[in-house]
Amino acid sequence: MRTIILTLLLCLGVTLNAQITLNSEPKQPGKPISTAYTTMPIRLPLSMAGGFAEIRSNHFHSGIDIRTDGKEGQQVFAPNDGYVSRINISAWGGGKVLYITHPDGYRTVYMHLSEFCGDIGRFVYNYQYAHHTFAFDIELPKDSIPVKKGQLVALTGNTGGSAGPHLHYEIRYAENDQTINPLLFGLQYNDLIAPTIAGIKIYPADNSTTINGRSETKTLLSKQLPLYDTLTINGRFYTGIYTYDQHEPGSRNKNGVHRIELYLDDTLFYVYSVPTFLFEETRAINAIIDYPHYQRTREYYIITRHLRGDRNNFSTAYRDKGYICLNDNKTHRLRYRVSDHKGNYSQQTLYIRTAKKPDAQNAVDNTSKTILASGEPISYFKHFKLEKEGFRADIKPYTVYENDQLAYSRSKDNLSLSNRHRINLVKYPLPPHQSFDVWLDIPQGIADEKIDKLTIVCINGNSVSALPTTIEGRSLRAPTRSFGDFAIRIDTTAPTMTPVNFGGNKTFRSSTITLKIADNLTGIVSYSCHINGQWQLAEHDGKTATLNVSAKHLRKGKNTVTFRISDATGNIAEQSWNIIKN
């Protein structure tokens, strides 16, 4: 057993004693869930660029990201018998995605692929040309494309939202698509590095709580000075930790950890662990992190406070919903213990002294009474409808995480045809757990022929997002997954297209015809390419905003290449070029 004892010097009046122990515990999880999936899907040693259940914007990472030596085209093999149950191709997200369902109740998923192989590749090619589409998402009947263990099924790539060549790999329960940490199946890899505890925060529960005499959050960073003694806390508080794991020396990736435990005087007070999750749970991550801090810095402090509308199964506070209120004028020990999947762990201990304050328990209720005048009460477990002049919102139960106030205001801007209707939560300004619908009345004076060019937009700061909008009488309706400002704008501008590597009546020597595409508001929803009057596959790359067409379909001499693009409100751009091939 190798033990490294580190004493970290922290700011803001705290002593943090850190003990990092490598390989001192039994390896987790012990027996693999199923030995059928101990084989890697690619023939390279497992090196992870991303771990399971890492915190991403509004969601957990649903698999592991396997490095592919920085290259595309690594062969992907099926780990077990099964059949292709779904194929999803998109310019965004997972890019080219393959789903294989196995007879033992599991499903494996492979994302960011560059090509599908064998019968799978032939099916995709035929489907795209038969339906004149690049992007599609279909489920296949059982055994329509059978797969054998060890069969070559695809090549790795960099498609969709990938930031570089790699393979995103998932293992799910086939029955409900609940995703599971693939490392639980016994994939072998090296990891002698304990997780890093980069910071701890102490949060006052309300304005009457003081920490070292001040009613504000204390941030305890592991690399700051000076060194002081025990914190003094009056009233209720909760804690948060920013921690990450690195599997390999020198790695820049800050992967998620396997388990976080918080002990109060040697009694387990809080546990965070995500071995598996359902996709409908994933947005609950916003309720268990310091969300405002994450929005500013992308540092995810996982907090102990538990909100009543948060029904996740991966964050557990064993008492008082994650709040601590001792008020006994004694010194207590808080100890964080963070472990990775290999059993390497780090610990940090801090000491707090609590003062006697009998009325501190009532502080949260007093804060709630102050909030009541700031908006309309909304309950986390009840259906809520907001109706204002020109605006409506319909919010289902368990869309917000706690009883709150929904503030509403109205304003104008020069770009919107309607008022801007703002709705925001007052006390817990978190994104909604699920989508809800908003309606905006169409302003008087809009000509009938212009109505189908209208769209609802959601405005947050400088960000303007067009929502998928439908017309319902004299109103527009759209689902949204955020609070903010909602308004009606009009989109009568066609998309734009710009040749990247070709021009009219010029000799073409590349293997791929590349066209840059863009739209000003509602986004591109369809596109096509014809070469000499024949439809040809145009692959849409969302990262580069390009369409890419194989030049193998050009004949010798002059060719007419025509692109046609439309946006969500039906504006169309079409242009042809003459391309000469020697």
DSSP 526-581: EEEEEETTEEE-EEEETTTTEEEEEGGGPPSEEEEEEEEEEETT--EEEEEEEEEE
On the question of pLDDT at 256 being above 80, the answer is yes
Query: Any idea which fold 375-490 has?
Result: Chondroitinase Ac; Chain A, domain 3 (2.60.220)
Query: Which run of H or E residues covers position 490?
Result: strand 484-490
CB 322 within 8 A of CB 305: yes
On the question of pLDDT at 447 being above 70, the answer is yes
Looking at residue 12, its pLDDT comes to 31
CATH no. for 496-581: 2.60.40.1220
CB 301 within 8 A of CB 278: no
Query: Which run of H or E residues covers position 295?
Result: helix 291-297
Looking at residue 243, its pLDDT comes to 95
* Mean pLDDT value of segment 333-345: 94
Looking at residue 576, its pLDDT comes to 96
Chain center to CA of 24: 33
Query: Which run of H or E residues covers position 406?
Result: strand 404-411
Long-range CB pairs of 308-311 (<8 Å, 24+ gap) are 308/380, 308/381, 308/401, 308/402, 308/403, 309/380, 309/381, 309/398, 309/400, 309/401, 309/402, 309/433, 310/284, 310/401, 310/433, 311/281, 311/284, 311/398
Rounded CA separation 451/469 (Å): 11
Please report, to the nearest 10 degrees, the dihedral formed by the alpha carbons of residues 325, 326, 331, 335 taken in order: -50
Q: What angle do CA 352, 353, 354 make, to 5 degrees?
A: 115
Rounded CA separation 417/409 (Å): 17
- pTM comes to 0.88
* Mean pLDDT value of segment 170-195: 93
pLDDT digits (tens, 9 = 90+) for 527-536: 999 999 999 9
What is the residue extent of each domain of the chain?
2-23+192-364, 35-185, 375-490, 496-581
Rounded CA separation 151/119 (Å): 11
DSSP 190-234: ----PPEEEEEEEEESSTT-EETTBSS-EEEETT-------EEEE
* Mean pLDDT value of segment 17-40: 56
Strand partners of residue 567:
524
User: Where in 300-396 does DSSP place strands (E)?
Assistant: 302-303, 315-317, 331-339, 345-354, 376-378, 384-388, 391-395
* Mean pLDDT value of segment 4-13: 30
Amino acid found at 460: N
Mean pLDDT of the chain: 88
Rounded CA separation 355/344 (Å): 36
The region of weakest confidence among 103-117, 440-454, 482-496 is 440-454
The region of weakest confidence among 130-139, 200-209, 229-238, 515-524 is 229-238
Rounded CA separation 181/401 (Å): 26
Looking at residue 287, its pLDDT comes to 95
Query: Which run of H or E residues covers position 371?
Result: helix 363-371
Query: Which run of H or E residues covers position 363?
Result: helix 363-371
Looking at residue 250, its pLDDT comes to 75
Distances (CA, A) of 392 to 307, 374, 395: 26, 19, 10
Amino acid found at 338: V
Amino acid found at 466: A
Long-range CB pairs of 569-573 (<8 Å, 24+ gap) are 569/452, 569/453, 569/454, 569/455, 569/491, 569/492, 569/522, 570/452, 570/453, 571/453, 571/491, 571/492, 571/493, 571/494, 571/495, 572/494, 573/494, 573/495, 573/496, 573/497
pLDDT digits (tens, 9 = 90+) for 496-513: 999 999 988 889 989 999
* Mean pLDDT value of segment 286-310: 95
Rounded CA separation 515/183 (Å): 41
CATH no. for 35-185: 2.70.70.10
Note whether 35-185 and 496-581 share their fold. Answer: no
* Burial (CB count within 10 angstroms: exposed 0-12, middle 13-18, buried 19+), residue 140: middle
